[in-house]
Amino acid sequence: MARSPRRLAPTAAAILLLVVAQIALGGLVAGLKAGLIYDTWPLIDGAFIPGREHLFFLQPAWTNLIDNHLTVQFAHRMVAYLLVGLAALHAADCAYQDDARCRASAVALAFVLLLQAVLGILTLLLHVPILLALTHQRSPWRRLSWPRFHAQICAPAGSPLPTASRGVDRASVGGVITRQIIPHTLHAVRAMRA
Ligand code: HEM
């Protein structure tokens, strides 16, 4: 089977890591009910990028990343834009590869991330209706399987990610992150530099 060029693996691994971070940020948005407090889009608190004095008013500054409704939701939005943009560029990059699985999974990944972002925006604008919020909340766990599947396809030989599979057991997400995703990312970066 054709292997994807080594330079694709770190981007695929970075997308996977960003999705994990985004799911954690989403948990904070939901936990703080920040979607009910800041319910406008594309502006938040009246600006695309809110003022520093609002984003970092809590002391020490790092607590804003877990306790400040504005900062947590702003970070969730920014990571979403970054993810959608990165996944689109990565899909365009993969479009020139011979490996059909790499091309198809990169396009599917960009599509599910875009869909997830649209669901998030609708959840916000419609004041967090339960069905939409649940769809937006639960689907990333299933969608985490897409970045993992794609990262495995792009993986250099010897990666700790198991053979491509689209299933992720929610109960073992912690184990997947510590035993597979983080070691895989390091392996992909090392293989690219070798
Ligand atoms: C790639 C994109 C995204 C991913 C993977 C994602 C993921 C998540 C997850 C996993 C949760 C819930 C976590 C939990 O309850 O444990 C969540 C909550 C939320 N997200 Fe996103 N999200 C994305 C984009 C967005 C965008 C673009 C917006 C809006 C601009 C948004 C708005 C929200 C809101 C308002 C909640 C809280 C819903 C509630 O209170 O139940 N999300 N997100």
The predicted-structure confidence for 168-186, as pLDDT tens digits, reads as follows 555 466 776 777 778 878 8
Q: How many domains does the chain have?
A: 1
Helix axes 100-125, 8-32, angle to 10 degrees: 20
* Per-residue confidence band for 152, with pLDDT thresholds at 50, 70 and 90: confident
Name which residue sits closest to atom 14 of ligand 1, judged by CA. Answer: 27
Cβ of 139 closer than 6 Å to ligand 1, yes or no, is: no
Name which residue sits closest to atom 23 of ligand 1, judged by CA. Answer: 117
33 torsion bin: left (phi>0), alpha (psi -120 to 50), beta (else) = left
Cβ of 26 closer than 6 Å to ligand 1, yes or no, is: yes
Percent over 90 (pLDDT), the chain:
61
Residue 69 belongs to a domain: yes
Cβ of 69 closer than 6 Å to ligand 1, yes or no, is: no
Distance (Å, rounded) from C-alpha 194 to C-alpha 109? 27
Atom of ligand 1 nearest to the CA of 138: 10
- Two tokens, residue 27: 């948990």
Residue 55 belongs to a domain: yes
The domain in which residue 141 lies consists of: 8-193
Nearest to 9 by CA among 94, 108, 111: 94
This prediction's pTM: 0.88
Do the Cβ atoms of 188 and 3 come closer than 8 Å?
Answer: no
User: How many Å lie between the centroid of ligand 1 and the Cα of residue 163?
Assistant: 29
Residue 1 belongs to a domain: no
Residue 2 belongs to a domain: no
Residue 53 belongs to a domain: yes
User: How many Å lie between the centroid of ligand 1 and the Cα of residue 178?
Assistant: 23
User: How many Å lie between the centroid of ligand 1 and the Cα of residue 134?
Assistant: 10
* Range with top average pLDDT, 93-97, 99-103, 118-122: 118-122
pLDDT given at position 4: 63
Do the Cβ atoms of 180 and 161 come closer than 8 Å?
Answer: yes
User: How many Å lie between the centroid of ligand 1 and the Cα of residue 47?
Assistant: 20
- What mean pLDDT is reported for the chain? 87
Residue 3 belongs to a domain: no
Do the Cβ atoms of 73 and 31 come closer than 8 Å?
Answer: no
Residue 153 belongs to a domain: yes
Which amino acid, residue 128?
Answer: V
